[in-house]
Amino acid sequence: MQCVINRRAQFSASHRYWLSELDEQENRLKFGDCTRFPGHGHNYVLYVSLLGEIDSYGMVENLSTVKRVIKEEITSQLDYCYLNDVWEEFQDSLPTTENLARVIWQRLAPHLPLVNIQLFEHPQLWADYQGNAMKATLTIQTHFSAAHRLALPELTLEQNSEIYGKCARIHGHGHNYHLEVSVTGEIDPRTGMLVDLGILQQVVKDYVVEPFDHTFLNKDIPYFAQVVPTAENIALYIAQLLQTPIQQLGAELDKVKLIESPNNSCEIYCRHLPQPPESLASRQPILVGTR
């Protein structure tokens, strides 16, 4: 019987985004505040996932061994270090979240049966790497607040209440939605990035957060005049909105997760998502400034 086990580890380290072939203005334009000397730090959280058969001792791997390997190969070398200098892999490539996850995999793979490396730079930014050459997944988290009412327009209040309960009440109700957007792509061997993080964050802000935040979805977002704004439908619509602009960044939309409340969330897996309707594909974002 195969099983996946996960081991958590932590380290604190600093890094700086700076390419020697670019001048100061070009670096600032490309990397923003991340170019500041002498760098900035993060409290990284690392999840190492292992796949294997459950042995006669009831284990996939002895966790004491796993803990020792992670410490020797990763955390003891990275903790309280400047990532740009600590490993040779970062002499010619920047230690971005996704690139660091990739290199951690390479250093652990000879010792452990890896199935996934997940690295959190902070709670709203993390990367997953599964040993697929230069391909990785990057996830950002954001939030917006909105109200909605769950009701089909052709049904009576009583009929809608039977289906949606209190959510059918005519004045609606609100949520603080948390949104996770995951994109997948090839890590650039020089910048260490699979996508420009600042532009990705701006796209999500322009296409989703600004239009949705502090609205009554049923009335303020035309799409939901006829479509019931359940968490599932909202997540699907967000995926359709983001699909084309993320492709234009050179990445692929991998997953949209919408957390409506601590008890209710949904996920849309987007790799086989149909192309959005023309009305969505050509929609222009609300511009709110640049990085």
pLDDT (tens, 9 = 90+) of the chain, 291 residues, equals 899 999 999 999 999 999 999 999 999 999 999 999 999 999 999 999 999 999 999 999 999 999 999 999 999 999 999 999 999 999 999 999 999 999 999 999 999 999 999 999 999 999 999 999 999 999 999 999 999 999 999 999 999 999 999 999 999 999 999 999 999 999 999 999 999 999 999 999 999 999 999 999 999 999 999 999 999 999 999 999 999 999 999 999 999 999 999 999 999 999 878 766 665 645 555 443 332
Q: Give the span between the Cα atoms of 190 and 38, in whole angstroms.
A: 20
Are residues 146 and 289 both part of a single domain?
yes
End-to-end CA distance of the chain: 49
Q: What is the mean pLDDT of the chain?
A: 94
State the CATH number of the domain containing residue 70.
Answer: 3.30.479.10
* Partners of residue 180 on adjacent β-strands: 141, 257
Residue 73 belongs to domain spanning: 1-131
pLDDT at 287: 40
Active site residue 260: yes
Nearest one of 112, 69, 109, 106 to 88, comparing CA atoms = 106
Q: Give the span between the Cα atoms of 138 and 217, in whole angstroms.
A: 28
- Rg (C-alpha) for the chain, rounded Å, is 22
Q: Last residue of some domain: 131, 148, 180?
A: 131
Q: What is the DSSP letter of 248?
A: H
Are residues 138 and 53 both part of a single domain?
no
The set of residues, in sequence order, having a beta carbon less than 8 Å from that of 219 and lying 6+ positions away, is 225
What's the pTM?
0.92
Are residues 144 and 125 both part of a single domain?
no
Are residues 171 and 274 both part of a single domain?
yes
Are residues 107 and 141 both part of a single domain?
no
pLDDT at 275: 67
Q: Which of 167, 186, 232, 266 is an active site residue?
A: 167
Are residues 116 and 188 both part of a single domain?
no
pLDDT in tens, 98-123: 999 999 999 999 999 999 999 999 99
Q: Last residue of some domain: 91, 107, 131?
A: 131
Q: Give the span between the Cα atoms of 81 and 74, in whole angstroms.
A: 11
Are residues 9 and 112 both part of a single domain?
yes
Active site residue 167: yes
Enter the tokens of residue 227. 């479509």
Are residues 10 and 67 both part of a single domain?
yes
Q: How many domains does the chain have?
A: 2
Are residues 103 and 150 both part of a single domain?
no
pLDDT at 278: 60
Q: Which of 122, 143, 173, 214 is an active site residue?
A: 214
Are residues 59 and 116 both part of a single domain?
yes
Helices (H), the chain: 24-31, 63-70, 76-78, 83-86, 97-108, 157-164, 197-204, 210-212, 217-220, 231-248, 278-281
Q: Which of 121, 180, 252, 260 is an active site residue?
A: 260
The set of residues, in sequence order, having a beta carbon less than 8 Å from that of 160 and lying 6+ positions away, is 150, 151, 152, 168
Long-range contacts made by residues 116-123, C-beta under 8 angstroms, separation at least 24?
116/47, 116/49, 117/46, 117/47, 117/48, 117/49, 118/46, 118/47, 118/49, 119/44, 119/45, 119/46, 119/47, 120/44, 120/45, 120/46, 120/47, 121/42, 121/44, 121/97, 122/42, 122/43
pLDDT at 274: 74
pLDDT at 279: 58
Q: Give the span between the Cα atoms of 283 and 290, in whole angstroms.
A: 19
Are residues 73 and 90 both part of a single domain?
yes
Q: Are 10 and 44 in contact (CB under 8 A)?
A: yes
Q: Last residue of some domain: 115, 131, 147?
A: 131
Are residues 235 and 152 both part of a single domain?
yes
Q: Is 250 helix (H, G, I), strand (E, B) or coil?
A: coil
